[in-house]
Amino acid sequence: MCGRYTLATPVAEMSRMFGFPELPNLPARFNIAPTQDVAVVRWLDDEKRRALSLVRWGLVPHWADDPSIGSRMINARSESVADKPSFRSAFARRRCLVPADGFYEWQQHVPKGEKKQPFRIRRRDRQPFAFAGLWETWKGPKGGPALDRPLETVTIVTTTANGVLKPLHERMPVILAEDDYAAWLDPETSGEAAGALLRPCPEDWLEAYPVSTRVNSVRNDDPSCVDPVEGAGVAAPAPRQPKLL
C-alpha cells in the first residue's frame, strides 16, 4: 500500500522530468499524508499538454453523497481498478502521475508488543519518480446544492510487492517507468494497455532503509523524518546493479 510519502525535489527539476510548464512555490514535504493536498500531473486534452495541479489525497467518486469516503480511498488495487465502481470511471479517462521522491512503509511482522518499524523507500539513484494515480471531480451530493468549487481528489494505484518491499508489506505503489508516462496519461490509451502498466517496478530501482518513528505522526513533517536510524533492522537488500528509468 502507500499511506505516506515524500516530495522535496525542487519544482523546476520536476518540471523538466514530468513535462509541465507550471512553476508554483511548492514547499518541501517529508511526511505527506492522506486527506492533504498533493501535487499531481495531468493531461489537458484541450490544450494538448501536461499540467501540475494540487488535489486532495483520497478519491471521492463523482456519485458519492459524502466526501468523507475519500479517507478510505487513498489506494486503488490494480487487480480490480478497471471494474470497481469507485475507480473504473477514473481509470478509463482520468489517469495521472503522482510525483514523489520516496515513500514510507511499516514492517508488518514484528514481535508482540513492539512498534512497527518504519522504512523509507527511494530510488537508488535518488531521482524523483511517479506513482500511477487516478483523479476525480466531486461537485456535491446528488440532488443537493452544487459546490462553489468542485472538489478534486486522487488515489494511488497499488500492486503486489517486489523483492525490496516483500519483507515489509505484501503491497506497494505502482511506480511507472518514464517511458510509460505518456501512455498512462493519454485518455485514448485502452484499459487493457493501461492495465498492463500496473506492475511491480524492478527490484534494482529501489532501496529501503529504517527511519525514526517520528513519521508515525502526521504533525512531523521536516527533514529529520528521512534520516536513517541505526540498529533498527533492515529490509532485504535489492540487487546491486541499478537499472535506471
Contacts (Cβ under 8 Å, ≥6 apart) of 123: 101, 129, 205, 206, 207, 245
Q: Please name every residue paired with 131 in a beta bridge, in sequence order, or none if there are none.
A: 98, 175
> CA-to-CA distance for 58 and 3, rounded, in angstroms?
10
> CA-to-CA distance for 210 and 227, rounded, in angstroms?
8
96 catalytic, yes or no? no
Count CB neighbours of 221 within 10 A: 20
Q: Cell numbers of 20, please?
A: 509541465
Three-point CA angle 171, 173, 179, nearest 5°: 135
Three-point CA angle 136, 139, 144, nearest 5°: 145
105 catalytic, yes or no? yes
Of the residues 13, 96, 105, 136, only one is catalytic, namely: 105
The residues carrying an active-site annotation are 2, 105
